[in-house]
């Protein structure tokens, strides 16, 4: 997966990049070969710009690969941004319908799920207020509660869970475990290593768009932190 930018640093398609001069290519993913099976929960580790978000977006079908192939089996539920899909001027209730349809529900299903979303998100009276008045944590709760209504078999999360308060994190961990126990897959990117250690048993370490390590969470985390400290010391 590569990104092409023109001389003004504007993204362009690879075809357009070949027609223009002085374009720059940055790899979002390169040479990554990985398989995640039923019942697995996987953490994506790495610094900013390592390729974690790009890999999640490829899995979610947001990005199309320039080379290679990706295959995902089962219903995918993805929350890759706290504000993803939200319309600030609409209420939580109205946004829940919008997000539900984007997650694959029909309009009748999305409307029928509103009471469940209200209860799951614990937004109370704020459910009827514009999302522009929400904190980041409230937006994350609304998005997560809505995504769950599509009954995902593959759950993809990009740091969104880190905005949740402690009480909602308990629910988040429980639901993630239920998906995994039912033979589903959970893939989570983030920097809260304590939370990730409770949620996942396997980790992928990404750096400079490449896969550096793949294995048990504690082992991969140890290697990642050691490399990070070594690079910091060398600077």
Q: Provide the token pair at 166.
A: 């402690």
Residue 26 near residue 10, CB atoms below 8 Å: no
Which has the higher per-residue pLDDT, 227 or 98? 98
Question: What end-to-end distance do the CA atoms of the chain give, in Å?
Answer: 29
Residue pointed to by tokens 């996942």: 200
d(CA 127, CA 131): 8
Q: pLDDT tens-digit profile of 119-161?
A: 999 999 999 999 999 998 899 899 989 999 999 999 999 987 7
Give me Rg for the CA atoms of the chain: 19
CATH 3.40.50.300 region(s) of the chain?
33-74+153-235
CATH number for domain 33-74+153-235, candidates 1.10.1670.10, 3.30.360.10, 1.10.760.10, 3.40.50.300? 3.40.50.300
pLDDT recorded at residue 169: 82
pLDDT at residue 23 tops 80: no
Residue 136 near residue 90, CB atoms below 8 Å: no
How confident is the model over 177-203, as a mean pLDDT?
Answer: 93
Q: Which of the four pLDDT bands, split at 50, 70 and 90, describes residue 19? A: low
Cβ within 8 Å of residue 133, ≥6 positions away: 126
Other beta carbons within 10 Å of 233: 7
With a pLDDT cut of 70, the percent of the chain lying above it is 91
Q: What one-character-per-residue DSSP string does 170-192 give?
A: HHHHHHHHHHHHTT-EEEEE-S-
């Amino acid at each position: 997966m590569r990104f092409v930018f023109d001389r003004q640093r504007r993204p362009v398609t690879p075809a357009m990049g070949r027609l223009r001069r002085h374009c720059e290519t940055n790899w979002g993913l390169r040479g990554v070969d990985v398989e995640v099976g039923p019942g697995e929960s996987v953490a994506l580790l790495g610094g900013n710009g390592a390729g974690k978000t790009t890999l999640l977006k490829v899995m979610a079908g947001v990005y199309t690969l320039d080379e290679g192939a990706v295959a995902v089996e089962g219903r995918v539920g993805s929350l890759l941004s706290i504000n993803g899909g939200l319309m600030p001027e609409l209420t939580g209730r109205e946004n829940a319908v919008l997000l539900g349809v984007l997650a694959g529900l029909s309009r009748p299903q999305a409307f029928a799920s509103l009471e469940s979303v209200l209860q799951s998100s614990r937004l109370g009276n704020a459910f009827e207020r514009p999302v522009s008045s929400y904190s980041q944590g409230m937006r994350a709760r609304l998005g997560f509660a809505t995504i769950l209504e599509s009954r995902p078999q593959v759950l993809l999360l990009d740091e969104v869970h880190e905005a949740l308060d402690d009480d909602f994190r308990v629910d988040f961990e429980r639901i993630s475990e239920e998906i995994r126990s039912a033979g589903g897959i959970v893939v989570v990117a983030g920097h809260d290593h304590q939370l990730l250690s409770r949620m996942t048993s396997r980790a992928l370490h990404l750096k400079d768009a490449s896969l550096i390590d793949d294995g048990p969470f504690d082992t991969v985390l140890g290697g990642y932190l050691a490399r990070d400290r070594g690079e910091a010391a060398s600077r």
